[in-house]
Structure 1
């Protein structure tokens, strides 16, 4: 664990039992797109493992391939070459419906712009990913919101919440299905430093429970709260 991460107040993270495969892994992934000026390589031979209980910050300038890498980890796109592995198994053969199920069950997403439904309360927003499931997840939604410090904002709509509170609702929503992995796209991008630190503290707490967290960001503050920081430059990953 890095000195910066310890200074930020993080606890030792939970680790997987010996022999358990990591929840997600990119193995030699290259992604190319055909453009008007020729082929564009967004990722080049990227190998990356999401470890349980670890917060990894993926940093790099605009256009470095961070969004493409996030799409690969989120099973939203396929590599040109290489493979994406879920719990040690390649996902290339999964149908679109199967990928949707896997994302719902295994992967949580947190977005820079929150993506909350403005007409729904905090509880309803958190419960939203479970709307097509048979069970009632209201109690879990309430518990998650309470855990992130919003027990007194359960019935508030997004326009009644601050930026930091909205991000906490988004974090709670990402955890409603107990995912193995949390993918965060610029989680502090719309927050001031104090609020960003509070949100990153919540993310560290999530990782302490054994969830693998990957935060794609420009913000150096995220690196201070991460266990590991890697750089993505021109589609190539550097530890």
Structure 2
């Protein structure tokens, strides 16, 4: 399956029927470099609904990673408001931000960030370390759904790039998030493997009603998304 059907929106940064799982309202993020102030994000409005997959594209230095970090509560905006499931989380302290991330957000990184000495199952379980209960059955079920049922006890160096990315996706889903944030999800993969990974994201989005935001340079990603948002110099085009 390639490009999905979605109703057109006048503003590509905002979904057509907005009940967002995450939203940025007039968000600006500034960094200081010597005497210069850089607007990594400049008055950005952005939202993603449950069950929607959005690509964020733009040249290097355009603010894509900053947008992802602000959405993921890894960074705090200089001004503007961040909402998660309708709650204003802009001024949360570190502890509340950590709890909100754990409850609502899953991250998939370009370089996988798997722990080398842990098995695939143990890597998936990492986000549950401080969560009560036995999560091994869910971790193993996620890996089986990713086609890795015969790789549960393999370490990352025993897996291909595509298999490592699937482990990373399973890890992002183990706490049943409502929002998945992916940084260059196909960046280290050949096109065939990248297409398989994007099919996994598409399935996760539609079957589990999860909002997916993928920051990317790869035009292939846009074949699988509902909307594409372009950032240039911190401004949504």
Q: What TM-score, normalized to structure 1?
A: 0.91
What is the CA distance between 1:4 and its match in structure 2? Answer: 5.0
Q: What's the CA shift string for 1:115-142, capped at 9, x where partnerless? A: 0001000000001110112201000000
- Structure 2, unmatched stretches of 5+, are 6-16
- Where 1:139 maps in the other structure, the secondary structure is helix
The answer to whether the 8 A contact 2:28-2:42 is kept is yes
CA distance in 1, matches of 2:19, 2:4: 26
CA distance in 1, matches of 2:117, 2:58: 35
1:230 and 2:229 aligned: yes
Q: What's the CA shift string for 1:20-50, capped at 9, x where partnerless? A: 9421100000111111141111111100001
- Where 2:3 maps in the other structure, the secondary structure is helix
What is the CA distance between 1:231 and its match in structure 2? Answer: 0.4
What is the CA distance between 1:94 and its match in structure 2? Answer: 1.5
Among candidates 183, 188, 191, match of residue 190 of structure 1:
188
- Structure 1, unmatched stretches of 5+, are 8-18
The answer to whether the 8 A contact 2:4-2:225 is kept is no
CA distance in 2, matches of 1:212, 1:156: 29
Other-structure match for 1:89: 87
Q: What's the CA shift string for 1:94-129, capped at 9, x where partnerless? A: 220111011011000000000000100000000111
Show the 5 A alignment for 1:122-133.
122-133=120-131
Work out the number of aligned pairs and report it.
Answer: 225
- Where 1:102 maps in the other structure, the secondary structure is helix
1:179 and 2:177 aligned: yes
Other-structure match for 2:162: 164
What is the CA distance between 1:78 and its match in structure 2? Answer: 1.2
User: Structure 2 vs 1, CA of residues 64 and 20 (structure 1 numbering), >3 Å: closer, same or farther?
Assistant: closer
- Where 1:43 maps in the other structure, the secondary structure is strand
User: Structure 2 vs 1, CA of residues 133 and 6 (structure 1 numbering), >3 Å: closer, same or farther?
Assistant: closer
- Where 1:5 maps in the other structure, the secondary structure is coil
CA distance in 1, matches of 2:109, 2:72: 12
Other-structure match for 2:146: 148
CA distance in 1, matches of 2:53, 2:33: 34
Aligned residues: CA RMSD: 1.6
Q: What TM-score, normalized to structure 2?
A: 0.92
Other-structure match for 1:67: 65
Other-structure match for 1:40: 38
